[in-house]
Amino acid sequence: MTGSSSPSGRPVAVVTGASRGLGAFLARLLSGDRYDLILVARTPGPLARIAEELRPRGGTVVDLAGDVADPGLRGRVRAAAERFGRVDLLVNNASELGPSPLPRLREYPLAELERVYRVNVVAPIALTQELGPVLERVGGLVVNISSDAAIGGYGGWGGYGASKAALDLASRTLATELREAGVSVVSVDPGDMRTEMHQAAFPSEDISDRPIPESTLPFWAWLLGQPKAAISGQRFRAQAEHWGVSA
């Protein structure tokens, strides 16, 4: 691993699912921490608005609209990262909930289930592969966004939860495999939040009592201040009384 700096001298973060919810919050947080940003989301309009909001803060913001399940989009992310010359942080936040209302697993449309796995499992692994060289250059950190559904066995959540359980295992495995390369990997369950995805999971319910993504700020401030190698391979819960839990 060799030292490197982006043209601006700032660290560089890639955030997927950055147009709304937790992803938009993390983009704002990292911008405030003087990161240059590569922001990715499926919806061009909201993504462009986030990018325009953050550019006056002084950092470089690249916004790439597209589907993380698309290899072409992942190639564009890699090309943008190579122009910076480094990636200090990759946040695999983009997620696919699946059909709404949530179907029982025994009746889950298999084409939809495959889509959930392509977005929630294959895409984070693929982006980690694509960005491997620039992550290794600076000993970067990969954060994979998980869910309590990964361990809950909740009725109706089988497709989404199983994909997040697979992502948790992939995170631990990548942490082991990338240790010698100096890249660290963790998974994070952010907890229930007042987001569009959570509303889609409960289309007929009032979710206004759920906390907003900004409520997880103390956790992220702590996590990003930790020695990366010391936390690699762990699974965290951003809203729990004790953030660290056994995976």
Helix (H, G, I), strand (E, B) or coil at 187: strand
Secondary element (H or E) of residue 228: helix 228-231
Residue showing tokens 């499926």: 42
Residue showing tokens 């993380």: 68
Which residues are CB-contacts of 233 (< 8 A; sequence separation ≥ 6)? 171, 172, 175, 176, 185, 186, 247
In angstroms, the CA 227 to CA 218 distance is 17
In angstroms, the CA 124 to CA 69 distance is 9
Instruction: Say whether 160 is catalytic.
Output: yes
Closest by Cα among 189, 136, 196 to 167: 189
Structural contact between residues 191 and 239, judged by C-beta atoms closer than 8 angstroms:
yes
Instruction: Show the DSSP H helices in 33-157 as ranges.
Output: 44-54, 71-84, 110-117, 123-130, 132-138, 149-152
Which residues are the active-site residues? 160
